[in-house]
Each structure stands twice: as structure tokens, then as C-alpha cells.
Structure 1
């Protein structure tokens, strides 16, 4: 089944929505990170050992990787665009179902 060709404005709208959703997801992740780690820091301050630093560092690394995926390797970036174009070309070479 062939899809009707979409207009360039439809493609741009789809890409803009995807990018905005990815950025919004990162902002939500960052807010949860801050709130949870503030609570953990409060709990940790009541003990003799600052254990809250360990989950903050581990989760912070995850947040950093998530941020890199959203802000650096965002769809439309050169690597993503190259891989996407390769996939499109491979799909066009396949016989129709």
C-alpha cells in the first residue's frame, strides 16, 4: 500500500512536533531529577553519611545522556539525517508488499 506524498510543510510540522516533544520530555526529566534529588539530599542530611550524592551522580549521568540525545543529536542533525536517508533508500529498494 503506497502512501500519498506529504507536503514539505507537513514534514516540517511533524519534525517540529517531534523536536518539541523531545525537548519537553527532557525538561520533565530534569524537573523530576531536581525534585527527587532535593528530597534525597534532605534525607541524606539527617544521616552521618552523604549517600544522596551517589544516586544524584548516576541519575545525573543519565540526564546528561538524555540531554545530549535531545539537544545535540536531535532529529534533523547530520548523523540522524544521514541514517534516516539510508533507511528511506533501503525501503524504496524493497519490493512492495
Structure 2
């Protein structure tokens, strides 16, 4: 088991996590709005060439990776916390010796 965090640390960590999630939501909103504009421009203003798929897919991949870093691998995520716990236990065992 690990020691409980002091209230100040919990507040700091909660603000950091909320900020990261809010950043992703803002990123996703801008992605949707800009790509709607690009798609409408490519379809209605410049003909039916699907050139808008390039930015859609490229930026979409960036958005997915941003989401993975925030929701899956970010500080406090289940995967990260389990890995940190395993490493902590491994280091403590190594420090105690055989």
C-alpha cells in the first residue's frame, strides 16, 4: 500500500488531471469545427475532390494519440498507476535484498 496523499497534493493532482481532460475536449471541439469547415469548403467551394480527407485523418490520428495520453496513459490512469505500483514494489524488494 502507498501512503495517502495530503489534501494539497490531491488538489494539485485533481486540477492537473481536469486540465488535461479539458484540453482534450477543447482539442476535439476545434477538430470537429475546423474539419466541418474544411469539408464544406472542399465539397461546395472547390468541387468534389476529397482533399479534405488528408487533414481529417492526420489530425484525427493526433487527436486519438492525445486522448490516449490523457485518458489511458496520463497521470492517475489505471494502467499507469498499476505500472508505478509494480515498479515501486520491485524497487522495494531489490532494496531489501534476497
Give the TM-score taking structure 2 as reference length.
0.71
2:27 aligns with 29
Residue 78 of structure 1: how far off its partner (Å): 5.6
Aligned residue pairs, count? 80
Distance across 1 between alignment mates of 2:78 and 2:49: 46
Contact preservation (8 Å) 2:42, 2:50 = yes
1:77 aligns with 77
Contact preservation (8 Å) 2:71, 2:77 = no
Tell me if 1:56 matches 2:67: no
Structure 1: state its 5+ residue gaps. 1-6, 87-97
Higher relative contact order (CA 8 A, sep 6+): 1
Structure 2: state its 5+ residue gaps. 89-98
Q: How does 1:2-17 map to 2 (within 5 A)?
A: 8-17=6-15
2:91 aligns with none
> If each structure's helix is expressed as a fraction of its own residues, which one has the higher value?
2
Q: Single out whichever of 59-68 and 7-16 deviates more from structure 2.
A: 7-16
Distance across 1 between alignment mates of 2:52 and 2:79: 37
Give the TM-score taking structure 1 as reference length.
0.72
Residue 77 of structure 1: how far off its partner (Å): 3.1
